[in-house]
Structure 1
């Protein structure tokens, strides 16, 4: 199922760079710039301080200089440490390694003023991503060993300054999604069916389209309000399931082509920025994400004698979520600005029974700090760091009597560190 056209080689190269580990709730990646990291992304749809506004609110391009380029990199390090509390997983009894690891999230943006009121731009980033990776011998390996979701999003945009108060923006989004899922075929071994000794792997991908809009209101010289919306994007993933174990006929029996449909959620953001005085600036953000678009994911076979059958269902039953962020900036001198932020981020996972080993997610609190250095009017360097405190995370997923999966019961001790840098240049 490999294609070698140039149109697919470029996204594949970008995806190789953008290996994402979920930092926001669910598997959303807020790190579409590093300049907002120090504020925990408070004010994201209203700040418009560099070309990365193309992602958060394209209308913010009307705040920029005639031509601007911005590029950044965030390094994300989640930690998911599992402690068993009564799991029942057949002959699988091993301890779990930390399922988190370092991931790199690059971004790049370019904006261009066609005239004083009309701007165009393009952005490249990775808005969704997830990597959880356990050791192969852990007791929950029939649920998951490795789960890897990557996206790359290319976002051409346009902005129009209607008047001194109102600006509007619109963008299209071409998005590629790749998914890889590895687990044991089951928790037991039987003659001719060595479930616990056989590994099942799904690899699938898709390209799809979405859109985004935004509006920016300059209420006074000191206050701006931003509103933005990003659409759902439905991915119809096509790929293959492969079995690898000690008995070749059994491997062949569980192998086939496969497909799965995932509708990534839409998002609303309302942001405000208010300059208190010559030194202090306040930022606020309320966002809503429609995670209920992912109720469950059926992995269906599309070839072989079992074509049309469901190989596995990921029963997510996600709920819609809210995120609230507050931030402040302090202008230390002409060259340096200090940034502070705090946020509460709600998980789409409803309870321990619906929590997956591949996504041991829970509510989190962001604590962020950053600094911005402007050596000249045309260039800016942003540095930021954030620590995400994740609530103790209970899991009670599966059925002790199910020989294919078993029951995983326990608790995760989780946290996330994010380090980021962004360079912006006007020219």
Structure 2
């Protein structure tokens, strides 16, 4: 049985490469640490409790000890079950498999104080990822049978403590992106050409650069505010478009059925976060988060042939037409004793998908609400273990994507979706 898994995203040779579908809205991955899961990532740019602050706000390194390392892993289990309600699939039929399964998302960070006010750090993570795999054939196979996005992000960073109240941070990001897209060529055959049993498969990749900045303000001993910004990353992916099955033998007559080089341009969105933490007493602390993601950078995504007799023509356009989104999160911490802290959180996360007509079968995304709980154990003065769990409620998700004019059928129906996230983060000062 084929599944949709969550994020095949990992740091270079230090960690094993994993795979899967995004747990945040769109194909964004919030699981850049596991220590934030218990608070639904509330306060992400202000907490600075371990070296994973490098991703959320590099200025937070000034709140750490002289040398710190943090390693984490999140296990994510999405479920996306499609129910057909009047689709037009020609020779294609069926709802496909439940598109969810367990997968792992690791991360790693290192922070090092060069002197009392200047810190150097590096992070390994994957901010975007997606795999949607419906199985061999279903009613929407001509729109997508499998869609996969992988990113690996390496983030060298610097932080400077300006004074006791203000810290600044900056980072550069080398990011590798790989994408794979596979579908049945058409919902029916064209004369002797077996389109409904042949596949088109796109495989492309690219390396690109981005940057991020942040600031952390200590307004009082009990109040911190953090702001951070991560830039867009413009990927110009190149690879090939392969035709397989009986249709491939007709490529000499119709160059659209030939294997060819291909290119795809996509601009991954920028993000802005403002966060706060507020100690209410010796035991209680409140956290808040408001974040914006510029998903409108992802509009129509043309797949362009880059070789052969019809080089320069568009093989297909993925019509995403995303909108910008907001996410709001609230969290609380309760200090149970010197060794244990309990974490709670709730969040609302908007989808970039505008409506059911523009919802892609490769990304059956919808708004989601996070319910989170976790705990932090101080193993020793310099060692900390964080554990967290989240359940993401996703309402019934309608789709009515009509691509009949292009021979790819009309997918009309409803998804029943949810996500579970479990995570652990181990942080050590030395």
TM-score, normalised by the number of residues in structure 1: 0.95
Q: Distance in 2 between matches of 1:14 and 1:126?
A: 13
Q: Distance in 2 between matches of 1:126 and 1:72?
A: 13
Q: 1:398 offset after TM fit, Å?
A: 1.8
How many aligned residue pairs are there? Answer: 417
2:395 alignment counterpart: 391
Where structure 1 has 5 or more consecutive residues not aligned to the other structure, the ranges are: 1-9
Where structure 2 has 5 or more consecutive residues not aligned to the other structure, the ranges are: 1-9
Asked if the contact 2:399/2:412 (under 8 Å) is kept, the reply is yes
Query: CA RMSD of the aligned region, Å?
Result: 1.4
Give the 5 Å matches for 1:191-210.
191-210=191-210
1:271 alignment counterpart: 275
Is 1:52 the counterpart of 2:52? The answer is: yes
Call closer, same or farther: CA 1:11–1:338 in 2, change over 3 Å.
Answer: closer
1:364 to 359, 363, 368: 368
Q: 1:104 offset after TM fit, Å?
A: 1.3
Residue aligned with 1:260, SS? strand
2:312 alignment counterpart: 308
Is 1:354 the counterpart of 2:336? The answer is: no
2:117 alignment counterpart: 117
2:7 alignment counterpart: none
1:6 alignment counterpart: none
Asked if the contact 1:20/1:29 (under 8 Å) is kept, the reply is no
Q: 1:78 offset after TM fit, Å?
A: 1.0
Call closer, same or farther: CA 1:14–1:98 in 2, change over 3 Å.
Answer: farther
Q: 1:17 offset after TM fit, Å?
A: 1.5
Is 1:141 the counterpart of 2:133? The answer is: no
Q: 1:40 offset after TM fit, Å?
A: 0.2
Give the 5 Å matches for 1:78-157.
78-157=78-157
2:159 alignment counterpart: 159
Asked if the contact 1:70/1:425 (under 8 Å) is kept, the reply is yes
Q: Which stretch shows the higher mean deviation, 116-125 or 85-94?
A: 85-94
Is 1:380 the counterpart of 2:396? The answer is: no
Listed one character per residue, the Cα deviations across residues 233-273 of structure 1 (whole Å, up to 9, x for unaligned) are 00000000101102442367331110000100000000000
Listed one character per residue, the Cα deviations across residues 204-240 of structure 1 (whole Å, up to 9, x for unaligned) are 0000000000000000000000000000000000000
1:17 alignment counterpart: 17
1:4 alignment counterpart: none
Asked if the contact 1:172/1:211 (under 8 Å) is kept, the reply is yes
2:4 alignment counterpart: none
Listed one character per residue, the Cα deviations across residues 291-317 of structure 1 (whole Å, up to 9, x for unaligned) are 000011100000011111101100000
Listed one character per residue, the Cα deviations across residues 183-205 of structure 1 (whole Å, up to 9, x for unaligned) are 10010012342111101100000
Q: Distance in 2 between matches of 1:332 and 1:400?
A: 59
Is 1:425 the counterpart of 2:428? The answer is: yes
Asked if the contact 1:192/1:250 (under 8 Å) is kept, the reply is no
2:184 alignment counterpart: 184
Q: Distance in 2 between matches of 1:119 and 1:12?
A: 23
TM-score, normalised by the number of residues in structure 2: 0.95
Call closer, same or farther: CA 1:251–1:376 in 2, change over 3 Å.
Answer: farther
Give the 5 Å matches for 1:405-424.
405-424=408-427
Give the 5 Å matches for 1:221-260.
221-250=221-250, 253-260=257-264
